[in-house]
Amino acid sequence: MRGVFIATVALALAALTTAQTPDPAVLAAINHTRAIDDHAHPRALAVNGRSDDDYDALPCAPLEPTDSTITGRLDNPELIAAWKDLYAYPFNDTAPGHVRWLTAAKSARKNQLGNHYPAWVLDRLGIETEFANRQALAPGIAPPRFRWVPFDDALLLPLDTSALAAQSPDRKIFYAREQALLARYLGPRKTPATLAGYLAQIVTPTLESQRRAGAVAIKFESAYLRALDFKPPDVAAASTLYARFHASGVLSPAQYYQLEDAIFHQIALDAGRLGLPVQFHTGVGCGRYFMLTGANPLLLEGVFNDPSLRGTNFVMLHGGAGPYSKVVAALLMKPNVYTDFSEQTYLMPTYQVAQVIRYWLEYFPERVMFGTDLSPGTPENDWEESGWIAAHNGRRALAIALTGMLQDGEITRPRALELARMVLRGNALRLYQ
Ligand SMILES: [Zn+2]
């Protein structure tokens, strides 16, 4: 009996080892494929001589701090691996003096390369093109290596947002940021007195100008501001609310959501017409008050099922990172819905991401995309490092997923290599071009 038990444990361990060891040929092919990064927040060295604050519409930095998951901590061994590969870090620890060496080496490399630095980082990450989700492009963050994905939540918020902002300390900061971004979009223009005027004179022209400026998609960070349950529009009711509160007063959250539903629907229609996929943050987000319940991609089902929006493609960024990954797989059944594993690749350990990717690939492999969600952090653990860890782990997780499918006889070896290429670049090229 004991022998059987030991043999069972040994077999289970062997299975575990196998599951985490990628097939060398599959991993090599993946490592040699230049990727399209579906979602990221790269930071320029400077914009007009000032620090680049356009890397996110709703950056986490001003919020009350939260603990990092273990992959984001200074004692993550992958961080040292990133430093070695990116900056030839000669040490094997994070002693303060050594970390100072690292930040000095990084500064020297930036000074040496100037605005070529961001593209150099992409080269080191094996990324051919990165979709830069930013308020604007910047020196060194420009085509062909970087493509722009602007934020359009601000367009949903043309009236007084003070009742929404009062919902949590995070939202107080975030709604103020959205008001500032809307002011930037408006420029010298004022919001018209009617909803029809606002849609025709502000919303649609803003999307068209984003397209002309090279946008390849638009992004909503709604999950930080409200639940993702956009409803079919009641344009008459929304128009009445708009006209009344444009004159004076503050909408309740429920009234505001009704208005947002109508504006969102117009944006989604315009985006479809302009060939701009609509991206949503889904799953875990930053901040002590983040409402994970509202970030469930299942809440988007009504939008995905709206027959009038079938000409618009939607992307569930981060694949419902954390608890909602399996929901995402089932939603990929919709003909116009895609996902990526950005954020998961630096938030979760590789073996977990591998399980997620495998689950998705066993559903609809044509809808799954590589992504990093690299973003600025501290001087020693910045967008370069989060990008390196995410790209490295994402590739490894993909290889482990495909290896498991190969070993279980679900796919052939040629198909495994084909799927790798689709996830790393083919699916994104098809969707965004
Ligand atoms: Zn992001």
346 — pLDDT class (breaks 50, 70, 90):
confident
> Quick one: pLDDT at residue 69?
82
Distance 321 CA to ligand 1 centre (A): 12
Average pLDDT for 210-227: 98
Mean of the per-residue pLDDT values of the chain: 94
pTM of the model: 0.94
Distance 343 CA to ligand 1 centre (A): 7
> Quick one: pLDDT at residue 408?
96
> Residues, the chain, total?
433
If DSSP codes are grouped into helix, strand and coil, which group holds residue 134? Answer: coil
Distance 18 CA to ligand 1 centre (A): 32
Distance 59 CA to ligand 1 centre (A): 9
Q: What is the percent of the chain where pLDDT is above 70? A: 96
If DSSP codes are grouped into helix, strand and coil, which group holds residue 315? Answer: strand
Cβ–Cβ under 8 Å, residues 400 and 22: yes
Residue spans per domain, the chain: 21-432
User: In 328-390, which ranges are E strands?
Assistant: 337-340, 368-369
Dump pLDDT digits (tens) for 364-406.
999 999 999 999 999 999 999 999 999 999 999 999 999 999 9
Distance 287 CA to ligand 1 centre (A): 14
> Quick one: pLDDT at residue 13?
47
Query: What is the dihedral angle through the alpha carbons of 125, 130, 135, 140, rounded to the nearest 10 degrees?
Result: 70
Distance 41 CA to ligand 1 centre (A): 6
Distance 131 CA to ligand 1 centre (A): 10
Dump pLDDT digits (tens) for 288-341.
999 999 999 999 999 999 999 999 999 999 999 999 999 999 999 999 999 999
Q: What is the rounded radius of gyration, in angstroms, for the C-alpha atoms of the chain? A: 22
8 — pLDDT class (breaks 50, 70, 90):
very low
> Quick one: pLDDT at residue 62?
86
Residues 21-432: name the CATH superfamily.
Metal-dependent hydrolases (3.20.20.140)
70 — pLDDT class (breaks 50, 70, 90):
confident
Distance 375 CA to ligand 1 centre (A): 7
Average pLDDT for 234-255: 97
> Quick one: pLDDT at residue 75?
87
Angle at the Cα of 239 (from 237 to 240), degrees rounded to 5? 65
What the block records as the tokens of 248 is 């004076």
Distance 419 CA to ligand 1 centre (A): 25
Name the residue among 411, 308, 397 with its Cα closest to residue 344: 397
> Quick one: pLDDT at residue 63?
85
Residues with CB under 5 A from ligand 1 (ion): 373
> Quick one: pLDDT at residue 32?
98
Distance 386 CA to ligand 1 centre (A): 12
Residue recorded with tokens 């040629």: 414
- φ, ψ at 35 (rounded to 5°): -95, 160
Distance 22 CA to ligand 1 centre (A): 28
User: Is the per-residue pLDDT at 2 higher than 80?
Assistant: no
If DSSP codes are grouped into helix, strand and coil, which group holds residue 225? Answer: coil
Distance 285 CA to ligand 1 centre (A): 9
19 — pLDDT class (breaks 50, 70, 90):
low
Distance 40 CA to ligand 1 centre (A): 6
Dump pLDDT digits (tens) for 43-54.
999 998 899 999
Distance 308 CA to ligand 1 centre (A): 28
User: Is the per-residue pLDDT at 179 higher than 80?
Assistant: yes
| DSSP H/E element including 407 | helix 383-407
10 — pLDDT class (breaks 50, 70, 90):
very low
Distance 133 CA to ligand 1 centre (A): 7
User: Is the per-residue pLDDT at 7 higher than 80?
Assistant: no
Distance 31 CA to ligand 1 centre (A): 23
Q: Terminus-to-terminus CA distance in the chain, angstroms? A: 61
Dump pLDDT digits (tens) for 265-278.
999 999 999 999 99
